[in-house]
Amino acid sequence: MTISDELLEQARGILYTPVISDTLDSMGLLSQALPPTVRPLDENLVLCGRARTGLYMPLYHDNAELDVYEHEIALVDDLKPGDVAVFSCAGNSRIAPWGELLSTAAHARGALGCVTDGLVRDVRMIREMSFPVFAGGIGPLDTKGRAKMMMADVPAEIGGAKIAPGDIVFGDVDGVVAIPAAIAEEVLKTAMEKVAGENSVRDELAAGATLKSVFDKYGIL
C-alpha cells in the first residue's frame, strides 16, 4: 500500500520513534528498530520517508571491471521525492558509502535522507545542509577498493531489522525504526492516537497523579 505524502508529513510533525516502536511491538513486530549504533548526524532532525535499499559487499581490491559506483550512482540518480536511501553494509566499518555529494544529489531530487550502518563522511557540510543522515559511525573512508553496492531495491537488513523497498523509515534522536509498507498506514495512525493518550498521561502525571493510577487508567507507560 502506498502511503500518501500528506500522512508522512503529518507523521514527521507528530510522531517519535518510541511511540512507533511501541505500536509495532503491540502488533507483534519486535525487531523493527535498527541497532543503537545507527545515530543521527543532527539530533534535531526527523526523518520519515520511503526506503530505497542498496546492499554492499566488502572488496579487497580494485580494477576497472569492478565499476564500484555503478549501482550506487544509479540508485541515487533514481531517487524520487519522499525517498530515503537505505544502505545496508552488514556492519562494515571500513567504508563510508554516504557523503556530502550524494546528499546534495539526493536533496536535489526531493529525497528526504539516508540511513546506513556504514560510515558517513563530509559531516560538517551535511550538517550545514540540514539533510537527515543516520549512520553507524563517522569516517573518511571511500568505498573504492573496499566495497561495492551489489544490488538495489531488494530486501535488506540492518542489525536484524528487515527493510524492504517502499517500507517507511522513521528516524529521530532516539534511533530509527522500519515500518513494513503493508501496515504502515495503520501503524502511523495508531501511533498518532497513542500520542494523544500519552499527552493526557503526561498532563495527569505533571498534576501529581501517581504512576500506577495513570497506568491503570490509560494502560500507557
DSSP 175-217: EEEEE-GGGHHHHHHHHHHHHHHHHHHHHHHHTT--HHHHHHH
Establish if 166 belongs to a structural domain.
yes
pLDDT in tens, 29-77: 999 999 999 999 999 999 999 999 999 999 999 998 999 999 999 999 9
Q: How confident is the model at residue 78 (pLDDT cuts 50, 70, 90)?
A: very high
Whole-number Å distance between alpha carbons of 195 and 189: 10
* 171: nearest Cα among 118, 113, 104, 88: 113
Give me the number of domains the chain comprises: 1
Establish if 213 belongs to a structural domain.
no
Establish if 41 belongs to a structural domain.
yes
Establish if 212 belongs to a structural domain.
no
Establish if 202 belongs to a structural domain.
no
Establish if 206 belongs to a structural domain.
no
Domain residues for the domain of 42 are 5-182
CATH number reported for the structural domain that contains residue 164 in this entry: 3.50.30.40
Q: How many CA atoms are closer than 13 Å to the CA of 126, on its beta-carbon side?
A: 26
Q: Answer for the pair 3, 181: CB distance below 8 angstroms, yes or no.
A: yes
Establish if 114 belongs to a structural domain.
yes
Burial class (CB in 10 A: 0-12, 13-18, 19+), 157: middle
What are the cell numbers at 65? 571491471
Claim: this prediction has a pTM higher than 0.75: yes
The mean predicted confidence, pLDDT, of the chain is 94
Establish if 12 belongs to a structural domain.
yes
